[in-house]
A and B are shown apart, each in its own frame.
Chain A
């Protein structure tokens, strides 16, 4: 079963536009430090945008503000035309450490959001089963997260947010804790899921290769409180490498190198 088959099961929300305008986040009041400042970004519905940068450049802060976990101290953030004020099911978040509920089975984790939003048990169960199948974990539906590998847990986390039918998928270094082989495999799967689901994706990562492989545009952020300059966007690279990307291809490597220089130039 593919995600597009699932649109018959779910309402299927189209990807939402993400609008960030002159965003700033200062910690510690007026005399505090700026984590990010002057960040503006316009992400089209259904677009896949990766944000790369060194540790502390504010890329995770940006994502957490988009998720509604933190409030900006200046500027404006809109998702799907509505200002972001708190977390909500229109913005599904995939965390690096998965954030699964350890006392719930895989199936219960995946249908949690649907049940919380008032969907009857049977229907929530059907949708959850379908998304568990999409991520290839049907055999593990009755297992607990603690019994699964990191890659499998992250698949559960992805199924959990996709089942909830979000307009935007926010991913915070989702494959950062996985081994190299699993990571590559998860990247392949995410590309497939993304093409079928059509949600907007904001994907924060350390890995420039991962960003170029996955995204339509790569946003480079530099600075950060530790550097004395607030985190900000230095450059945005469009990735025009088509749908079948080869990480060993010459044009792929050229773009990767160009972005890398920009990241490290600061």
Chain B
């Protein structure tokens, strides 16, 4: 255990290190484009836009006023539309997976009933669902939300089941000998004891939601970061593709921070979220 002051300066040092590596990557990117490097996998760096060009376009995408084309200043509307789908799909996945996972983890009968179905559906990737989804739901927002729900559901479910199974039996005994009812053993002991594991599952699920977003939005959607990237690819605009990638990456990163700090805000000092 370090003292708060050394802990803080060490954390600042680590942050500087991480930032330095990022700067290094951007520097290499710049040199690679200038020098038309060809890397492993036949990556042709010369086809990439330069970092400065991407930065300029990113600024224009967010705030406008530089390029004055159809993309200028449209980022927030794309981001807003995508965030809505991520929140809906992820929220639905969490609302289904957490209660189901608690029951599967706690009751052998529920587990026996559902485990084969879960294991059968889980390995089917979202990409494999797309053709069927387009046929039975059709292009659009609903299909995207469905794919996100499907993808976020399994990591949340499996983490919840695992966390519930690992609740120390001692805590259940303690609750029982204090006169706790069956329902409250579940609600007041099993659920809080499993919360750190459930939160880990939520974070994985939320990350996947942004991954699947691009897949879902690549068909028949006007507004959304995925549709923006798809359109840019069709127009062979690598600069716009990279800008879209950066925005999605930042959105995924920020949503994870918001989830984590939001939960910390609710739980306060209670040790319910794993320290990272």
Please give the residue numbers on chain A whose beta carbons come within 8 Å of chain B beta carbons, in ascending order. 67-69, 86-89, 91-93, 95, 97, 99-104, 112-113, 116-117, 144, 146, 160-161, 164
Contact = CB atoms under 8 A, between A and B. Distances in A.
Contacts of B177: 67-69, 87-89, 91-93, 161
Nearest to A164: B178
Contacts of A68: 176-177
Given A99-B170, A101-B171, A160 B272 contact: no
Interface stretch (B116-124, B148-156, B179-187): B179-187
A99 B173 contact: yes
A91 to B, nearest CB: 6
B195 interface: yes
Contacts of A161: 177-178
A92 B174 CA distance: 9
Contact of B271 (A95, A102, A116, A164): A102
B192 interface: yes
Given A103-B271, A144-B270, A87 B170 contact: no
Nearest to A67: B177
Contacts of B274: none
Given A102-B271, A103-B192, A116-B188, A160 B173 contact: no
B193 A116 contact: no
Interface in B172-213: 173-181, 184, 188-189, 192-193, 195
Nearest to A116: B180
A144 B181 CA distance: 24
B174 A100 contact: yes
Nearest to A112: B178
Contacts of B269: 144
A103 B269 CA distance: 9
A160 B177 CA distance: 11
27 contacts: A68-B177, A69-B177, A87-B176, A87-B177, A88-B177, A92-B177, A93-B173, A95-B170, A95-B174, A99-B171, A99-B173, A99-B174, A101-B174, A101-B189, A101-B193, A103-B192, A103-B195, A103-B270, A103-B271, A103-B272, A112-B180, A113-B179, A116-B180, A146-B271, A160-B178, A161-B177, A161-B178
B179 A101 contact: no
A101 B178 CA distance: 12
B178 A113 contact: yes
Nearest to A88: B179
A112 B184 CA distance: 11
A86 B195 CA distance: 27
Nearest to A99: B174
Nearest to B189: A101
Given A88-B177, A116-B188, 17 more contacts: A68-B177, A69-B176, A87-B176, A88-B179, A93-B177, A95-B170, A95-B173, A99-B174, A101-B174, A101-B189, A102-B271, A104-B270, A112-B188, A116-B178, A116-B181, A144-B269, A164-B178
A207 to B, nearest CB: 22
Contacts of A89: 177-179
Nearest to A145: B271
Contacts of B272: 103
A166 to B, nearest CB: 9
A68 B172 CA distance: 13
Contacts of A100: 174
Contacts of A103: 192-193, 195, 267, 270-272
Nearest to A64: B173
A232 to B, nearest CB: 25
Contacts of A146: 271
B167 to A, nearest CB: 11
Contacts of A112: 175, 178, 180, 188
A115 to B, nearest CB: 9
A97 B179 contact: no
A91 B171 CA distance: 16
Contacts of A86: 176
B171 A87 contact: no
Contacts of B188: 112, 116
The 5 closest A-B pairs by CB, nearest first: A89-B179, A113-B178, A99-B174, A87-B176, A87-B177
Contacts of B173: 67, 69, 87, 93, 95, 99
A144 B271 CA distance: 8
A91 B184 CA distance: 19
Contacts of B178: 89, 92, 112-113, 116, 160-161, 164
Contacts of A93: 173-174, 177
Nearest to A113: B178
Contacts of B171: 99, 101
B160 to A, nearest CB: 17
Contacts of A99: 170-171, 173-174
A164 B171 CA distance: 17
A165 to B, nearest CB: 10
Contacts of A104: 270
